Every structure is written in C-alpha cells, then in structure tokens.
Amino acid sequence: MASLITCPHCGVRPREEFSVRGDATPVRPLPNASDEAWHAYVYLRDNPRGQIREHWYHEAGCRRWLVVERNNVTHEVVSVTDAASKTAGGAL
C-alpha cells in the first residue's frame, strides 16, 4: 500500500483519508452482454504482481473516486487521476 496519495484535487494526503475499493480495470458490461462477461465483471479478478490500477475514494477529503496506478511490490505510486477525467475514459 502507499502511505501518502497525491489527490489531484487536494494534494498530498495520508492514506487514512481514503478507502480502497479494488481493481479499476474491469469495465461494467452493457446490460445485454453475455453471462460470461457479467460473471467476470462481478466475480473474477486478476491478481498481478507489480503494476496495478485501483479505485480509491477520497472519503475524508473531496469525495472523488480516483484511479491509482501503483506497484504492489515496491509500493511506488505511479499516477493518481480523477476517475471521471478524460484520461481515465470519462467526461469531467
């Protein structure tokens, strides 16, 4: 885990201000996608060693969901972006 996260809106904050939801890579399927796609979305997760992307929630700060790219071996945080921002694939 990281001890400090640089929230794009609030700056450097301690880990205690956040809650971690989990893997940010699964994308919610369309309503009529296959059973397999839905099953994978809800239940299946990879468990890679090294670079991962996670959803973190800045609960005690700006209440924004963030995509944290970090290394789960070295704990280095590579990037933190607002989940809804363009680079994360949404519109802000």
Partner 1 sequence: MTSFRLTSGGLLDRKRKIRFTFDGKAMTGLEGDTLASALLANGQMLMGRSFKYHRPRGPVTAGSAEPNALVTINTGGRAEPNTRATVAELYEGLSAQSQNRWPSLSFDIGAINGALSPFIGAGFYYKTFMWPKSFWEKVYEPLIRRAAGLGRAAMEADPDTYDKCWAHCDLLVIGAGPTGLMAALTAARAGARVILADEGFQLGGSLLSESLAVGGMAAADFASAVLDELASLPNVTLLSRTTVFGWYDDMVFGAVQKVQKHVARPLPELPVERLWRIIAKRAILASGAEERPLVFGGNDRPGIMTASAVRTHLNRYGVSAGRRVAVFTNGSSGYRTAQDLAARGVEVAAIIDPRAQANDAAPAGVRVVSNAVITDTMGRKGLKGLLLERSGFEEVVECDALAMSGGWSPVIHLACQRGARPVWSDEAQAFLVPDVGSAFRVAGSAAGHPSLSACLRDGAAQAVALARDLGFAAYDADIPEVEGEPDPSFSPVWYVTGAKGKAFVDFQNDVHVGDLGLAEREGFGFTEHAKRYTTAGMATDQGKLSNTNTAGILAGMRGVSQAQIGTPTYRPFYTPVSFGALAGAAIAEGNRPVRRSPLHGWAARHGAVFVETGLWNRPGWFARSGEKSWRESMEREVRAVRENAGLCDVSTLGKIEVFGAQAAEFLDRIYCNSILRLPVGKARYGLMLREDGIVFDDGTISRFGQNHFLLTTTTAYASQVLAHLDYASQVLWPNLDVRLLPTSEQWAQLAIAGPKSRIILQRIVEDDLSDTAFPMMAAREVTLKLGVKARLFRLSFSGELAFELAVPSSLGEAVADALMEAGREDGINPYGLEAMDVLRIEKGHVTHNELDGRTTADDVGLGRLMAMQKPDFIGRRLSTRFGLTAADRLQLVGLKPVEAAKEMKAGAHLLKQGAKPSMINDQGFVSSACYSPTLGHFIALALLKSGRERMGEKIVVWDALRDSEVLAEVCPPVFVDPDKLKQRA
Partner 2 sequence: MLHTELNRHPLEDVITEENPVRGTNHVSIARRAIVVAALADGATLALLPALLGEGVRFYRCGPAIAFAVSQSQRVEDIIERLSAVPGLDLVDQTDAHVLITLSGPDVRRLLAKAVPLDLHGQAFSIGQSAGTLCGQVAVQLSRTALDAFELLVPTSYAGFLLEEIRQMGREFAFTIGFDQATA
Binding to partner 2, residues 61-80 (CB under 8 A): 61-64
User: 17, 40, 54, 77: which one contacts partner 1 (CB under 8 A)?
Assistant: 77
Binding residues among 29-58 for partner 1 as defined by CB under 8 A: 29, 31, 38-39, 41-43, 55, 57
Question: How are the residues of the chain apportioned to helix, strand and coil, as percentages rounded to the nearest 5?
Answer: 15, 35, 50
23 binds partner 2 (CB under 8 A): no
Buried b (16+ CB within 10 A) or exposed e, 25-54: eeeebeeeeeeeeeeeeeeeeeeeeeebbb
Applying CB under 8 A, does 55 fall inside the site for partner 2?
A: no
Scanning the structure block, which residue is given the tokens 């989940």? Answer: 83
Does 10 interact with partner 1 (rule: CB under 8 A)? no
Q: Which residues bind to partner 2, rule: CB under 8 A?
A: 9-11, 13-14, 16-17, 59-64, 82, 92
